[in-house]
Amino acid sequence: MKKLLATLALSACCIAPMTAQQAELPSRAEILQQMEKVNDWFVRRHPDPTVKSFGKGKYRPSSLWTRAVYYEGLMALYGISPKQQYYDYTYQWCDFHKWTARNGATTRDADDYCCEQIYIDMYRLAPESFKLTNTIANCNMYLNTPDNSDWWWIDAIQMGMPVFAKLGKTTGNPAYWDKAHKMYMYTRDTFDGGLWNAKDGLWWRDMDFNPPYQTPQGKQCYWSRGNGWVVAALCRVMDELPASHPYYKQYKKDLLAMLKSLKGRVREDGTWNCSLDDPDDFGGMEVTGTSMFVYGMAWAVRHGYVKADEYMPVIAKAWNAMVTHAVHQDDGMLGFQQGTGKEPKESQPTLYDKIPDFDDFGIGCFLLCGAEVYQLSPGEQGGGSKKLNAQK
């Protein structure tokens, strides 16, 4: 039984600021240990990856987006610690779902085909054509239709855009990159006047939150996790494109604008609120958005796109805050996750002891973050490395 008073204190945003020592990254071995601890908690709860996912009172196929995001994180963990059980757990899940998007290869819902990112990753590790057949069919449907308006909410950028980027690199067909770019720019600049606010360097989640919508405190509604999805997507897409590509330059520009904006919105404890501009509107530590922001900052530092002396203290402080205050050191449960929804007020409150309505995607975000932070640590190497982005 966890201490109730500690839980209430943490959820009320009164976590003490980190000391200078705590704002340094731990060793690679320590980072990996925390990642594996959190992942082990999830696998103990879900030993059979083929069992349907349960959330919000309903069973759904485990190929849905929440589980796909978990596997994005597991693939990142496998990249630095290539244990056979991680590969087997992923392969069993992919094979059970016949390497096909949820609701079939004709779906146009990015939440359905997010899982195709994992199918492509697994193909790269062991190329067999059946792994890509339905992913190619699904993406070719997009190539053969002129509509670019499918991504009408920013979460879809993360769920869908890396699929096209990965497939373009894997097949050598840049038409997938072209289509993804058209859909991204439509969401960014055209849909309902555009969901990107260049002035603030952040995104409104969908048309429901474009101006004149305001939070109860009269602020812009910038949802932490929604913006986190875009940060993660931009990094994952740029991992697939040549740095000299014109689309790369656009994505890099947008990512850097977001990171600069986010660096100015960090909480005193090193994490971010559910509502980025309104701490009174469901403020407090939230690890899904925080994980993806740190993932993006670490990725940008590793690529030399931002100054390490400016961003490394932010990265280290946030990582240490999550490990210290959100990871349960006894069993690996990850606290302070906002469950599913579309805005700050959903799935509240976020608490240390509360398991969210879907217990998978937040862990995926944390693992993605950890894998990038791991590569910045000057400590020992840990478990090795596999490059998922390399074609075989």
pLDDT in tens, the chain (392 residues): 333 333 333 443 344 454 444 469 999 999 999 999 999 999 999 999 999 999 888 999 999 999 999 999 999 999 999 999 999 999 999 999 999 999 999 999 999 999 999 999 999 999 999 999 999 999 999 999 999 999 999 999 999 999 999 999 999 999 999 999 999 999 999 999 999 999 999 999 999 999 999 998 999 999 999 999 999 999 999 999 999 999 999 999 999 999 999 999 999 999 999 999 998 878 789 999 999 999 999 999 999 999 999 999 999 999 999 999 999 999 999 999 999 999 999 999 999 999 999 999 999 999 999 999 999 998 754 333 333 433 32
Three-state DSSP at 15 gives: coil
14: in domain = no
> At 262, which helix (H) or strand (E)?
helix 246-263
Q: H or E segment at 58?
A: strand 58-60
Q: Is the residue at 390 inside a domain? A: no
Number of domains in the chain: 1
- Cα–Cα dist 238/166, whole Å: 10
Alpha-carbon distance 62 to 39, whole Å? 17
Cα 191 to Cα 184: distance, rounded to the nearest angstrom: 10
- Tokens (6 digits) for 350: 């976020």
Interatomic CA distance for residues 192 and 206, integer angstroms: 9
- Sort residue 330 into left (φ over 0), alpha (ψ -120 to 50) or beta: alpha
Is residue 304, in this structure, part of any structural domain at all? yes
Cβ-in-10-Å burial (0-12, 13-18, 19+) of 331 comes to exposed
Closest C-alpha to 307, from 265, 263, 271, 273:
263
Helix and strand totals (H; E) in the chain: 14, 4
Does 5 fall in a domain? no
Question: Is the C-alpha dihedral spanning 185, 66, 25, 285 positive or negative?
Answer: positive
- The answer to whether residue 353 is domain-embedded is yes
φ/ψ of residue 238, rounded to 5:
-65, -25
Q: What CATH number should be reported for the domain holding residue 358?
A: 1.50.10.10
Whole domain around residue 63: which residue ranges? 23-376
Domain membership flag for residue 18: no
Examine residue 389 and state whether it is found in any structural domain, yes or no.
Answer: no
3-state secondary structure of 279: coil
The whole-model pTM stands at 0.92
**30 found inside a domain:** yes
Q: Which residue has the tokens 């009164």?
A: 14
Q: The tokens 């069992």 sit on which residue?
A: 51
